[in-house]
Amino acid sequence: MRDFRFGVSVRTSESRREWQRTVREVEDLGYDTLLVPDHLGMVAPFPALMSAAEVTRRVRLGTFVLNAGFARPALLARDVAAVDQLTDGRFELGLGAGYEKAEFEAAGIPFPRAGERVSHLGRTIVEVRRLLADPDHRPRPARSDLPIAIAGRGDRLLSLGARHADIVGLSGVVPGEDPAVAGSLPERVAFIRRAAGDRFADLELNLMLLSVQITGSGAPDRKFYPDYSDEQLRTLPNVVHGSEDQIADALRRLREEYGITYFTAAHTDLYPLAKVIARLR
């Protein structure tokens, strides 16, 4: 069984000083990865990660996730290789298909249908892997086999991750533990297992925690589940709540039952999850 890993997604910054103070804190609190998403109106991923590398030594640096619809494989491979080289091999590439039409329109890029976006993501991950493995590619990454993550919830996206990624991130799971219910956590993990075949043992499964509620810390964020009550939200496997020990036990159970060992949280849960991490080391 894999060891636990914990990441935190940091989205905004008002200054270089504030950004670097935050990333130092991420490392000091025991997190394994500092992650940056890819949305307009938020900090730009690659410059932010290079700034983070200046003031950290241990924590890995990743994207969670880059919008593949904004990228072309050759240009992306160049940037990925450069960041990995200049961070001494600490970079992890997270990729997604993109889902916000307004962002494509703001960027002046046509918004393809969902199937086309996933197909482009598939072509991107295959070509980026090929280029990074090519000994003649310049710049050279520190590791030609740097980890790649794909995150999502649909069949095609998870199939793509199962076949080509090193890390598969689960998002948008529905309440309950019935494997017969489409979209439930056990059903999605079983789907990945079938799609991966012999690769499954080598995959690292990730769950993005929607909320980490240590007793008395308030209600969970319902951004992705606007129609759910607080009670319904607390039945989701990616909403963990209770005492620090109870949450630690919940994460242990997710590892034992589903093989999920990599948990990521939003910056708003930086301190609550850090308290749980201390109980799992």
**Is residue 54 within 8 Å of 34, Cβ to Cβ?**
no
Mean pLDDT computed over 90-101: 96
The per-residue pLDDT for range 36-94, each reduced to its tens digit, is: 999 999 999 999 999 999 999 999 999 999 999 999 999 999 999 999 999 999 999 99
Tokens of 226: 């606007």
CA distance 50 to 46: 6
CA distance 270 to 26: 8
pLDDT at 217 > cutoff 70? no
Tokens of 63: 């994207």
Domains of the chain listed by start with CATH number = 5-280 (3.20.20.30)
CA distance 137 to 75: 12
- Global pTM? 0.94
pLDDT of 1: 85
The per-residue pLDDT for range 25-37, each reduced to its tens digit, is: 999 999 999 999 9
CA distances from 75 to 71, 81, 185, 209 (A): 7, 10, 35, 31
pLDDT of 177: 87
pLDDT of 224: 66
Mean pLDDT computed over 229-257: 91
pLDDT at 223 > cutoff 90? no
CA distance 275 to 272: 5
pLDDT of 227: 75
Say whether 208 sits in a helix, a strand or coil: strand
**Sequence-separated contacts (24+) of 228-232 with Cβ below 8 Å:** 232/175
Tokens of 24: 């130092």
pLDDT of 25: 98
Tokens of 80: 């990925």
pLDDT of 150: 97
**Is residue 238 within 8 Å of 250, Cβ to Cβ?**
no
The per-residue pLDDT for range 145-180, each reduced to its tens digit, is: 999 999 998 999 999 999 999 999 998 898 888 899
Say whether 46 sits in a helix, a strand or coil: helix
